[in-house]
Amino acid sequence: MSEWHLDDLRAALINRGWRILQVHPGDDYAVSGSWGIQRSTRVPPLWIDFEGLDDLRTLPMDKSYGCHVRGGPSSLYFRRPGGRWQTELEKFVTSLDAVTSTSGDAGT
């Protein structure tokens, strides 16, 4: 897709109190790159992996087509801009609260 997906995701995370601590390169296979995010130092960071498996190469992060929380059930497909994208983005970012609360943190 394009860089605006990453910008929207970054803004949504920041609006919910998350910080992007680290940006890691991909694995040259299926992951375009990863963000380490954290809202509270009482729990370890979460990792968002950006999906970029293509026929012959791994796409760069700004061309990835989706992302997921490493080891968790939450995922987000990078759709066209519009209401459905905004709804799914908000649902994804809100789902991070459940992931952190199962780690012993209420999101503070």
Model confidence at 107: pLDDT above 50: no
Percent of the chain topping pLDDT 90: 65
State pTM to two decimals. Answer: 0.86
Structure letter (DSSP) for residue 44? P
Task: Provide CB contacts within 8 A for 52, sequence distance 6+.
Answer: 26, 30, 31, 32, 33, 58, 59, 60, 61, 63, 64, 65
Is pLDDT at 19 greater than 90 in this prediction?
yes
> What are the pLDDT digits (tens) for 61-79?
999 999 999 988 899 999 8
Place of tokens 């209401």: 83
